[in-house]
Amino acid sequence: MVMEPFLLGAAASEMLKAFSKVVDKASKEKKTYADKLESATGNEIFKYILLINIAALEGYIAQTRIQAQQSFSLSRIMAIVGFFLLAIAIGISIFSTFSGNVNLNAVYLSSIAGMLTEFIAGVFFYLYNKALQQINLFHDKLVTMQQVSMSFLATSMVTDEAKRDQAKMELANKLIQQNK
């Protein structure tokens, strides 16, 4: 679900459109690489598997960025609404005090509504923070995938077959050791 552009602002709306294009592009690349993987042989298999993973990760990052932007926008809107509810409650309270009205039920109701709205905004900001942490995690994984991809491609360029196989074995062992 993409938030309506009038709730986000022009810059955020354009950013969401750009991220949506990245998601679509990553999905198409993943499909293209999967099709090429079916007919791949030898070193091409590693290359296409890694390219599929990188395309999928790029799509996940873009989706997480969309969610983070939406979460931040919603948090900001809720914080503004809560502030206005609290400001109205304070204004009514001051006006009621000066006019001598002792019945402050509307003030209490507005204050409670404002505080509740601010609490909800705080929860949304917390979720935004979690989305940012997820983006950072995905980014780290993408960097790792790119390093692995470059390593496998570099080892496949070694002309001596024995050295190439030995380099691939060392690389595979290091990857296995990292995941323990």
* Residue 4 is assigned to a structural domain of this protein: no
Tell me the average pLDDT of the chain: 80
* Residue 36 is assigned to a structural domain of this protein: yes
Query: Mean of the pLDDT values across residues 142-171?
Result: 82
* Residue 2 is assigned to a structural domain of this protein: no
- What is the token pair recorded at 108? 């209490």
* Residue 74 is assigned to a structural domain of this protein: yes
* Residue 42 is assigned to a structural domain of this protein: yes
Whole domain around residue 83: which residue ranges? 9-151+159-178
Exposure of 161 by Cβ count < 10 A (0-12 exposed, 13-18 middle, 19+ buried)?
Answer: exposed
Sorted by sequence, the CB contacts under 8 Å of residue 77 that are 6+ apart come out as 7
The total domain count for the chain is 1
Query: Mean of the pLDDT values across residues 95-105?
Result: 75
Expressed in percent and rounded to 5, the helix, strand and coil fractions of the chain are: 90, 0, 10
Which has more confidence, 107 or 37? 37
* Residue 143 is assigned to a structural domain of this protein: yes
| Range scoring the smallest mean pLDDT among 5-19, 21-35, 53-67, 155-169 | 5-19
* Residue 3 is assigned to a structural domain of this protein: no
* Residue 26 is assigned to a structural domain of this protein: yes
pLDDT tens per residue, range 130-150: 878 888 887 787 778 778 777
Q: Quick check: 174 pLDDT over 80?
A: yes
pLDDT for the residue numbered 12: 66
Local confidence band at 3 (pLDDT 50, 70, 90 cut-offs): very low
- What is the token pair recorded at 109? 């109701």
Q: Quick check: 129 pLDDT over 80?
A: yes
Q: Specify the 3-state DSSP secondary structure of 36.
A: helix
